[in-house]
Structure 1
């Protein structure tokens, strides 16, 4: 079964648009497109979701129950957004394409930090949510950043659909427009992992940099190069904050 719908547009043209918007690629880094109405990990509430050949049977019922999709990293033609759909369990994940005219609302991860009021006490007691609100209220190292939950916790907070389980990890996104030193990254990771050990689950943290998304754990480990997730594909870079100047 396909895990992603074929693009409903000319991919060569979309790649050219993406490269132009990103300021070009020097083999190491690239900027994100200038359209910031939606960014990777944002949740989109959609008026409708186009259907494409090869779509799994679970996608339509899942969308009818929760008409949301998460923005994923992929080059798209103007008017289209690469999105991911989720159903029940890890096996039900599907990449597809939404249209900009169908977006009713955009919810960023950082918008969800105050969204606990819709959860009952039983849901709030789940380790992922307990960990989220512990780090929100007590983690000193996070207070200098814009950040929020992604993954199952973010999806449940945005949609009200129960997706977190007793064994769910907590996924976090931290926006780091300015360079984060290795030392500070290690301190941040150490504090978050200490909270996670107390909760009995893992915390998976991604840094959003000018070049794309990188794992906090990789940057904190002092590796010479780290894997950056970018719309034009993953790449190894030495400095995710070293953005090249725009090309003419």
Structure 2
């Protein structure tokens, strides 16, 4: 998030991740409570599409860390939602088979997604996955968010270790689809250590960056038993 609100709870509260919601879930909210210093675009955007994305940050009991988006790429705001204000949650995998409005089908990000949806025997077939970012937001809300230059962001659930060979095969498959669509497909593996870029894991680096609610960390094995919930 480019800007973040002060937490609505005391700093000495015990902080944790609420297992009801996972990073990249889209939450439909009954309301958005005001906070000091919030940007002027925030409530107008929320009225058009009352959704927020779960972000990787710890929160006190009864709260969840969220991010909101405006119409512009620079309009991003991090804050916290009260649990009582959450109406429904939409995980990325619930959007994997959705389609945009007909007039939006030709956008490159949605063309790439359609290619993945039609490839039922491809490299993604054995995974639970779904779109995130602007494509996921638009599919969940029907509010325009994808542009002609938008990447297609994907979340791939990887609770069990993915070999480097399998990661390379998956990356090559996604890159081929991205090349045909003329965009980038940016895939993130959701591992026990947190979110890991597929491209980093496929590169067989000694350590990779795992993005966790407690902060990013370099790890040799994102599936090592010591790693907890992301």
TM over 0.5: yes
SS for the counterpart of 1:136 is helix
Contact 1:206/1:216, CA 8 A, preserved across alignment: yes
Tell me if structure 1 keeps the 8 A contact 2:65–2:79. Answer: yes
Are positions 1:166 and 2:148 aligned together?
yes
Residue from 117, 120, 126 that aligns with 1:136: 117
Name the residue aligned to 1:13.
13
* Structure 1 alignment gaps of length 5 or more: 19-32
Which residue of structure 2 lines up, in the alignment, with residue 22 of structure 1? none
Q: Runs in 1 of length 4+ with deviation above 3 angstroms?
A: none
After TM superposition, list the pairs within 5 Å mapping 1:94-113 onto structure 2: 94-113=77-96
Instruction: Tell me: higher relative CO, structure 1 or 2? Use CA pairs within 8 A at least 6 residues apart.
Output: 1
Deviations 1:226-248 (A, max 9, x none): 001000100100000003288xx
Question: Of 100, 105, 129, which residue of structure 2 is paired with 1:124?
Answer: 105
Aligned partner of 1:228 in structure 2 is 210
Distance 2:159 2:141 in 1: 28
Contact 1:110 1:147 in 2 (8 A): yes
Gaps of 5+ in 2: none
Measured at CA, do residues 245 and 39 of structure 1 come closer, stay the same or move farther in structure 2, by a change above 3 Å? Answer: closer
What's 2:72 paired with?
89
Instruction: Normalising by structure 2, report the TM-score.
Output: 0.95
Equivalent residue of 1:197, what SS? helix
Matching of residue 63 in structure 1 with residue 46 in structure 2: yes
Is 2:165 the partner of 1:192? Answer: no
CA shift in 2, pair 1:156/1:70, >3 Å: same
Question: Higher helix proportion, which one?
Answer: 1
**How far apart, in 2, do the equivalents of 1:222 and 1:234 lie?**
19
> Deviation per CA, 1:14-54, whole angstroms, max 9, x where unpaired?
34xx2xxxxxxxxxxxxxx4x43210000000001111101
What's the counterpart of residue 160 of structure 2? 178
Q: Which structure has more strand as a fraction of its residues?
A: 2
> Normalising to structure 1: TM-score of the pair?
0.88
Deviation of residue 104 (structure 1)?
Answer: 0.6
Identify if the C-alpha distance between structure 1 residues 245 and 170 changes in structure 2 by more than 3 Å, giving closer, same or farther: closer
Structure 1 residues 12, 186: CA separation in 2 closer, same or farther (over 3 Å shift)? farther
Shift in Å, 1:208: 0.2
How many Å separate the matches in 1 of 2:192 and 2:174?
23
Q: Is the 8 A contact 2:65 2:80 kept in 1?
A: yes
Q: Distance in 2 between matches of 1:245 and 1:77?
A: 21
Shift of 1:88: 1.1
